[in-house]
Amino acid sequence: MKTLGYSILIFWFSSSISIAQIMFEKGYNLSGSSSSSIPLSNSITDISIQGDTIWLGTGKGLSRSIDGGKSWKNYYDTPEFGNEDISALAVRGKDVWVALARSVEIDGQSLPEGRGLRYSSDGGTSWKKIAQPVDQNNVDTIFWGRNIVRALGVTTTIQNITYDIAFSDSAVWIASWAGMIRTSTDSGQTWNRVVIPPDKRDSISISDSISFDLSPSSGKLGLTGSLNHSGFSLLVENNDTIWIGTAGGINKTTNGGLSWKKFSKQKQTNPISGNFVVALGKQKTTTKEIIWAATINASDNTEKKGVSFSEDGGLNWKQVLIGEFTHNFGFKNEIVYAPTDNGVFRSEDFGSSWSQTGAIYDKTNRQRYTQSKFFSAASAYDSIVWLGGSDGLVKTFDNAAYFFGSSWTISHASQPVSSQTETYAYPNPFAPDDEIVRIHYSTGKTYAANVTLRIFDFGMNLVDTPVQNALREANREHDEIWSGKTHNGTYVTNGVYFYQLVIEDDEPLWGKILVIQ
C-alpha cells in the first residue's frame, strides 16, 4: 500500500495545467540491481509475501527476498527504477506491479509527483517501464452507457501519483489521487478512467440517465469536483467485485463496473468512521469474509480516524480503533494486524478486542525500533509476521509456541564499518517527516566509552546535540539517532548537515547528512 507522507490534500484546491504523453517501453533485464543481506532503506511502506518470496516497497526503491528474508535483491539506482520512492506495490505469483514517486519543489511547496509504473511478468527478472498515465486534453468526453460524461484531463504528473494497485484476471487497476481511478486490459499500454459516483450520488448504473462531471476538483474549466473522484485505495476480489476507496467514501461494484454503490459516513445507519479511505483489505477465514477499511476524517467534522469493517458486503460497518491513524492491514487466518501511527494493533476475535505492540527490541542484534509509526504488515505461511515502518523491517512469530511479540528481529539498513575511524549516516539522504537517520560507528575501545554527537548546518552553526557524554559498550558497533529536528523541536529545512562524533578524547569523526523532504 502506501503512506500519506506526500502532500496529497493540496490537489483538492488545484487543477492540472500541462500536457504530457503516455510512453510504453519494452522490458529489459536489470543491469544495476544489487544483492545484500538487508534492504537499502529503513522506511518500509509496503510488504507482499508469496511463499518464500517477500517484496518490499521502500524509500529507496523495491527490494525482493526469495529465501524468506535471509538475503535481498535491491532494485535501486537501475535504469528501470532510478532512485525513486515506491508508492504502491501489488504482487500475484510472478506478476509484479510497482508505482514510483518523488517529491518536487514548486513555488516553495513540496508536491508529490507520479513517476510511472513498472511491471514484471517473470517475478522481477525483467521489467516494462510505463509512464504515469496522463491525458492530452484539459477536458475529455467519456461515453458510459447512453451517457456522455465530461472528465477532467489530468495533463500533469504533479499530484497524479499512484497510491494503490490491484489486478483481476483481465485488468490492472490503479488509484492515482488526482489521476483518479484507471484500469488497463493491455498491461499498461492504454488506460481508461473508471466512472464512479460523484459526491451527490450514492449509486450509479450504466442504464441510468446521469449528469455529472468526473473530476476530483473544481476550477477554471467549469467542471464540478467531487472528493469521491480522488482515488486512494483498491481491493479487487475478482473480475466482477471491486472496491475503491477515495476521499469521499467506499465504492463497490459486483458487475465489473457497470454499476456502483457508494458507502459513506453520512448516508448509512451503521457507517464507516470517516470518508477518506486510506486502505482496504479482505480477511477470509473458514467462517467469515470481512472487508476492512482504514477510514479517516475527510471534510465533515463528524468524521473520525479509525478502522471500519463489514461482514455483510458493506451494508453495515463496525467502527474500532477510533482515533488511530491506520495505514494498512495484514491477515493470518482469524488474526488481523493494523499498522498505525502508534504501533501495530492485533485482534484475534474479529475486532472485538485489540492488543498493541510495546517496546520492540532485538536481543540478538541489540537493536531497538525507535519510532511508533508502522506502515505495513504481512504474514508468511510459517507463522512469521513481517512489519514495516519508519525505522526498519521487523519480524516476529505468532503461533502457539511463540506469542506475537515475544521475540523480535529488526533489520536496519546498515553495513559494518572497517575501522574505528569510519562512520556513516543511513539512510542518507533522509526525510525527517518519514524516518530518522542513524549514525553508525564503532568506538574501537576495549572498554565502555563516552560518546557525544553534534549536528551542524552548512554554516557550521550548532543545530542539535542528540547525544551528550553517553556511555557505550565496548567491542561492538553502535547507532546514534537524530530525528532531523533542532534543539527547539522543529524540523530542519532541506539541505546539507554535518555531524561530529566524539569518542572519549579521540579526534572527532565527521560525516555529512543530506535532508530532503
- pLDDT-based confidence at 381, cuts 50/70/90? confident
* Residues paired with 260 in a beta bridge: 204
* Residues paired with 293 in a beta bridge: 280, 308
Q: Are residues 270 and 402 in the same domain?
A: yes
In this prediction, residues 252-269 reach a mean pLDDT of 96
pLDDT tens-digit readout, 400-434: 888 999 999 998 887 778 888 899 998 888 888 77
Q: Are residues 226 and 141 in the same domain?
A: yes
CA 461, chain centre distance (Å): 35
Q: Are residues 406 and 461 in the same domain?
A: no
pLDDT tens-digit readout, 418-477: 888 899 998 888 888 777 898 999 998 999 999 999 999 999 999 999 999 999 988 888
Q: Are residues 321 and 374 in the same domain?
A: yes
- pLDDT-based confidence at 7, cuts 50/70/90? very low
Q: Indicate whether 9 pLDDT > 80.
A: no
What pTM was computed for the model? 0.83
Phi, psi (5° rounding) for residue 11? -65, -25
Q: Are residues 472 and 384 in the same domain?
A: no
The last residue of one of the domains, among 81, 112, 129, is 129
Q: Which of 60, 95, 50 is nearest to 81 (CA)?
A: 60
List C-alpha distances in Å: 500 to 197, 412, 424, 429, 446: 56, 22, 11, 17, 22
The Cα–Cα gap between 282 and 297 comes to 22
Q: Are residues 227 and 268 in the same domain?
A: no
pLDDT tens-digit readout, 132-190: 999 999 999 999 988 899 999 999 999 999 999 999 999 999 999 999 999 999 999 99
DSSP string, 57-103: EETTEEEEESSTTSSEEEE-SBTTTBTPEEEEEEEETTEEEEEEEEE
- pLDDT-based confidence at 32, cuts 50/70/90? very low
Q: Are residues 75 and 202 in the same domain?
A: no
Domain annotation covers residue 458? yes
What is the predicted pLDDT for the residue at 435? Answer: 78
Domain annotation covers residue 201? yes
Q: Are residues 207 and 218 in the same domain?
A: yes
User: Sign of dihedral through CA atoms 63, 515, 391, 1?
Assistant: negative
Domain annotation covers residue 259? no
The count of structural domains within the chain is 4
% of the chain residues with pLDDT over 90: 75
Q: Indicate whether 124 pLDDT > 90.
A: yes
Q: Indicate whether 3 pLDDT > 70.
A: no
Q: Indicate whether 231 pLDDT > 90.
A: yes
Domain annotation covers residue 247? no
Q: Are residues 282 and 405 in the same domain?
A: yes
Q: Please report, for the domain that includes residue 323, its CATH number.
A: 2.130.10.10
The last residue of one of the domains, among 239, 272, 298, is 239
**Can you give the residue range of the structural domain that contains 318?**
264-413
DSSP string, 342-411: TEEEEESSTTSS-EE----EETTTTEE-----EEEEEE-TTSEEEEEETTEEEEEE-SSSS-TTSS-EEE
The Cα–Cα gap between 417 and 438 comes to 14
Q: Are residues 209 and 301 in the same domain?
A: no
The Cα angle at residue 54 between residues 320 and 62, in degrees rounded to 5: 95
CA 456, chain centre distance (Å): 31
C-alpha cell at 135: 491525458
Domain annotation covers residue 428? yes
What is the predicted pLDDT for the residue at 415? Answer: 75
Average pLDDT, the chain: 90
What is the predicted pLDDT for the residue at 14? Answer: 34
Q: Are 32 and 77 in contact (CB under 8 A)?
A: yes
The Cα–Cα gap between 135 and 66 comes to 38
Q: Which of 326, 307, 330 is nearest to 386 (CA)?
A: 330
Q: Are residues 297 and 282 in the same domain?
A: yes
Domain annotation covers residue 26? no
- pLDDT-based confidence at 33, cuts 50/70/90? low
Q: Which of 33-37, 230-234, 416-420 has the lowest mean pLDDT?
A: 33-37
Q: Indicate whether 364 pLDDT > 60.
A: yes
Q: Are 156 and 20 in contact (CB under 8 A)?
A: yes
Q: Where are the beta strands (DSSP E) in 146-226?
A: 147-152, 160-167, 172-177, 181-184, 192-193, 203-205
Q: Are 166 and 90 in contact (CB under 8 A)?
A: yes
Q: Are residues 377 and 492 in the same domain?
A: no
The last residue of one of the domains, among 129, 151, 186, is 129
What is the predicted pLDDT for the residue at 428? Answer: 87
Domain annotation covers residue 200? yes
Q: Are 60 and 83 in contact (CB under 8 A)?
A: yes
pLDDT tens-digit readout, 190-225: 999 999 999 999 999 999 988 999 999 998 899 999
Domain annotation covers residue 18? no
